[in-house]
Chain A
Amino acid sequence: MSEIAQKEGGGGKGASKGRKKASTRVDMTPMVDLGFLLITFFMLTTTLSKQQIMLLPMPNKDKDKPISESEIKESNAMTVILGENDKIYWYMSKNRVPDFHTTSYDPTDENGLRKVLLEKTRNPEMNVIIKPMDKSTYQNVVDVLDEIHIVNAKHYALIDITKDDEELVKKQTAVNEASTN
């Protein structure tokens, strides 16, 4: 690029008059370089600054018509409980404690949430019920919703935790502690 500016050095009319006419061309290369750098910067930052969103539709909270879990067939409902300190549990049936499992958010884990969800949501009728405990964090909720989006589950709901579930978690923690000791 810089050669262009030097193309008309001396010679031509200036030389014939005996006085060398100074070129009025300015080497613009550095300015153009800077210009393109800035363009690149602004282009990238404007497109990257748009924030990502995840849609979360919630059921209508109609006080007259509470949603009851019993409307869903037991075999088609999977409950995921989010506990404190990033603990996570899931069960299919409420009444049997051996059915209560501890899992993890780790996608590489063989018994991790993603593997479980993938397997369970092969049934297209499967409803995933997410019950975060009060001690769980916002990160946990988003993580689970994210896993649900990843495995493409069609039916899911975010529901308040019940006393029964809290009891189950307590029992399970006791069992886990006993087995590690």
Chain B
Amino acid sequence: MTAMCDVAFLLLTFFILTAKMKVPDPARFEVPSAVSEKKLPDENVLRISISNEGAVFLTIAEQSRRKELIKEIDKMYSLGLTEADKEKFSLIETFGVPMKQLKFYLNLSDDKRKAFKQEGIVIDSTNNELKGWVRVAKTLNENAIIAIKGDRASEYTVFKKVIGTMQEMHLNRFSLITGLENKPSTN
């Protein structure tokens, strides 16, 4: 009995420690379901999310990579972020603010930042900030795969713009994040 208890609690500790806290998303991303059973890897994923209102968000799971990314972006776009700003940025997993709002967004207090409505990363043909983010992220981590998480109701035009942006950078392989659905028989 004691031995079994020991093993059980060891397992319990293991699972508790390895479990990852789920960070709430800043917008609604309700993914469509599909039969595919491939799993998304935990690391080296550059996730582009499209909300039901068509706002585009970027997610990088690793904190160290976010830190590297913001350093480069700060240099490239001369945003004038302080070290504290960059530190704050590295704590935010999913973000979707235009470049010119980034400093303002990071300077908000924690509560206000949660309540702040992010309008999404800009992907106009003249000012494609998503391209900047992805290009820098991709040079920092060549193995990153592009995952797209779209809301069911989001319009195809936004998806087309995102895909088009990636294709301009010769990134042609995408992983669409889908929910689980049982495979029907085809006979």
Q: Which A residues contact B (CB, under 8 angstroms)?
A: 1, 4, 28, 31-32, 35-36, 38-39, 42-43, 45-46, 49-61, 82, 107, 114, 118, 132-143, 145-146, 149-152, 158, 160
- A28 CA / B9 CA spacing, docked (Å): 13
Q: Output the least CB separation between A37 and chain B (Å).
A: 10
- A136 CA / B152 CA spacing, docked (Å): 11
- Chain B's closest residue to A29 (CB) is B1
Q: A143-B32, A150-B183 are in contact. Are A53 and B177 (CB under 8 A)?
A: yes
Q: A53-B38, A142-B34 are in contact. Are A39 and B12 (CB under 8 A)?
A: yes
CB-contact partner of B5 in A32, A38, A61, under 8 A: A32
Question: Are B19 and A46 neighbours in the complex by a CB distance under 8 Å?
Answer: yes
CB-contact partner of A139 in B9, B40, B152, B181, under 8 A: B152
CB-contact partner of A53 in B8, B9, B19, B147, under 8 A: B147
Q: Output the least CB separation between B69 and chain A (Å).
A: 22
- A12 CA / B85 CA spacing, docked (Å): 70
How many A-B pairs fall under 8 Å by CB? 152
**Shortest Cβ-Cβ A-B pairs, 8 listed:** A42-B15, A61-B167, A139-B152, A138-B150, A53-B175, A146-B34, A54-B36, A142-B32
Question: Are B12 and A52 neighbours in the complex by a CB distance under 8 Å?
Answer: no
Question: Are B36 and A53 neighbours in the complex by a CB distance under 8 Å?
Answer: yes
- 7 further contact pairs, Cβ within 8 A, besides A53-B39, A151-B186: A32-B5, A38-B12, A39-B11, A50-B40, A52-B34, A136-B156, A138-B151
- A151 CA / B35 CA spacing, docked (Å): 11
- A139 CA / B155 CA spacing, docked (Å): 9
How many interface residues does B have (CB within 8 Å)? 54
Most buried by A among B5, B36, B40, B50: B36
Question: Are A137 and B174 neighbours in the complex by a CB distance under 8 Å?
Answer: no
Q: A35-B5, A58-B167, A107-B184 are in contact. Are A52 and B159 (CB under 8 A)?
A: no
Most buried by B among A55, A82, A114, A135: A55
- Chain B's closest residue to A51 (CB) is B40
- A50 CA / B38 CA spacing, docked (Å): 10
Interface CB pairs A-B, < 8 A, 17: A38-B12, A42-B15, A46-B15, A50-B40, A52-B38, A52-B180, A54-B176, A55-B36, A55-B176, A56-B173, A57-B174, A58-B172, A60-B172, A137-B154, A138-B158, A142-B34, A150-B35
- A60 CA / B163 CA spacing, docked (Å): 11
- A137 CA / B4 CA spacing, docked (Å): 53
Q: Output the least CB separation between A96 and chain B (Å).
A: 27
B132 at interface (Cβ–Cβ under 8 A)?
Answer: no
Residues of B within 8 A of A141 (CB): 156, 159
Question: Are A55 and B175 neighbours in the complex by a CB distance under 8 Å?
Answer: yes
Residues of A within 8 A of B109 (CB): none
Question: Are B155 and A138 neighbours in the complex by a CB distance under 8 Å?
Answer: yes
